[in-house]
């Protein structure tokens, strides 16, 4: 009755019922082979996991170059991916001074000497490294190339409406053709082969989202209407939905919203994207 000792500790020491002892004995005889088989399987599994671990360790030595390290996927606006250590250096005060300070790196600067009392319009310029051609074209192109090399499955790119009008006021700021370079990057993405969604937002507003009816269009048609603005929160929501819905892939759309209190707040984003038929 050696197998009985496996179950005997489960019972209080005062239990001496012969029938119960016989039941425990028979139960032990029945279960013992199954426990031995279970232990054998566990032993085999442990050996298999050890072999897999050894194989992966050896393979990683040979194939690690095929998979970029996480820090290599951090993207710089102006160049190909740079190591984290270099990005830390770029965040120092000295580096920020070189590119125009804390908040001035990617916005136009007003040329000194403008006097509003004399009429006329101010003139603008961009700091070196912050021209739209460098940021909106070269920077985005490098990011698209890096994403493609890393195997990114989809890119959602937020642009601006107005790109069909070469004389749009935004293009005249610093004579930098902001929308021209944005449009060039959008075309590059559309031709890249990566699944994409291009969202050309209207005038951005710092208002609550999810309470307006959203409108989609093409070729700046919405700019000819009274509904040319959209809350930043709604743009963010559309971006998230675009990553989840097949109907949003390989499409480009203009995005605006009706004024709050008119229309029905958009909830069915699948239907919203289904309205879009343009690839660029």
Phi then psi for residue 126, to 5 deg, are: -120, 145
Taking only the tens place, the pLDDT of each residue in 11-70 is 445 545 565 556 556 666 666 665 555 555 555 544 444 444 444 444 444 433 333 343
> Alpha-carbon distance 150 to 146, whole Å?
6
Question: What pLDDT is stored for residue 124 in this prediction?
Answer: 84
Question: What pLDDT is stored for residue 140 in this prediction?
Answer: 95
- 67: number of Cβ within 10 Å: 11
More confident residue, 134 or 39: 134
Q: Are strands 214-217 and 124-125 parallel, antiparallel or unpaired?
A: unpaired
What DSSP line would sit under 59-116, residue for residue? HHHHHGGGS--GGGGPPPSSSS---HHHHHHHTSHHHHHHTTSSS-SSS-EEPTT--G
Structural element, H or E, at residue 204: strand 203-205
Taking only the tens place, the pLDDT of each residue in 67-83 is 334 333 334 343 344 44
> Alpha-carbon distance 148 to 157, whole Å?
14
Instruction: Report yes or no on whether pTM surpasses 0.85.
Output: no
What average pLDDT does this structure show over 242-268? 96
Interaxial angle between packed helices 140-149 and 178-190, expressed in degrees from 0 to 180 and rounded to the nearest 10 = 20
Residue with tokens 């449009």: 183
**Domain parsing of the chain, residue ranges:** 4-51, 69-150, 153-280
Q: Are strands 229-231 and 203-205 parallel, antiparallel or unpaired?
A: parallel
What average pLDDT does this structure show over 130-159? 95
Average pLDDT of the chain to the nearest whole number: 75
Kindly list the catalytic residues. Answer: 160
What CATH architecture does domain 153-280 belong to? 3-Layer(aba) Sandwich (3.40)
Percent of the chain having pLDDT more than 90? 51
Residue with tokens 């937020």: 158
> Alpha-carbon distance 125 to 131, whole Å?
9
Burial 34-63 (b: 16+ CB within 10 A, else e): eeeeeeeeeeeeeeeeeeeeeeeeeeeeee
> Alpha-carbon distance 214 to 209, whole Å?
10
């Amino acid at each position: 009755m050696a197998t009985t000792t496996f179950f005997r500790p489960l019972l209080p020491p005062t239990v001496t019922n012969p029938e119960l002892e016989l039941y425990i004995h028979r139960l032990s005889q029945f279960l013992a082979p199954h426990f031995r088989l279970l232990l054998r399987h566990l032993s085999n599994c442990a050996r298999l996991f050890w072999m897999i671990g050894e194989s992966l360790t050896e393979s990683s030595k040979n194939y690690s170059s095929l998979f970029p390290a996480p820090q290599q996927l951090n993207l710089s606006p102006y160049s190909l991916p740079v190591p984290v250590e270099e990005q830390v250096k770029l965040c120092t005060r000295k580096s920020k001074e070189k590119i125009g300070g804390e908040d001035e790196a990617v916005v136009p600067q007003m040329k000194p000497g403008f006097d509003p009392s004399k009429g006329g319009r101010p003139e603008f310029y961009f700091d070196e490294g912050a021209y739209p051609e460098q940021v909106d074209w070269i920077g985005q192109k490098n990011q698209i190339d890096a994403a493609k090399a890393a195997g990114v499955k989809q890119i959602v790119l937020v642009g601006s409406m107005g790109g069909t009008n070469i004389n749009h006021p935004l293009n005249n700021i610093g004579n930098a053709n902001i929308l021209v370079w944005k449009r060039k990057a959008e075309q590059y993405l559309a031709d890249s082969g990566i699944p994409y969604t291009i969202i050309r937002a209207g005038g951005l507003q710092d208002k609550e989202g999810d309470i307006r009816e959203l409108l989609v269009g093409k070729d700046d048609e919405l700019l000819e209407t009274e509904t040319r603005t959209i809350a930043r929160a709604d743009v963010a929501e559309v971006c998230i939905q675009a990553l989840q819905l097949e109907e949003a892939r390989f499409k480009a759309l203009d995005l605006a919203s009706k004024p709050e209190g008119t229309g029905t707040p958009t909830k069915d984003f699948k239907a919203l994207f289904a309205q879009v038929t343009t690839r660029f």
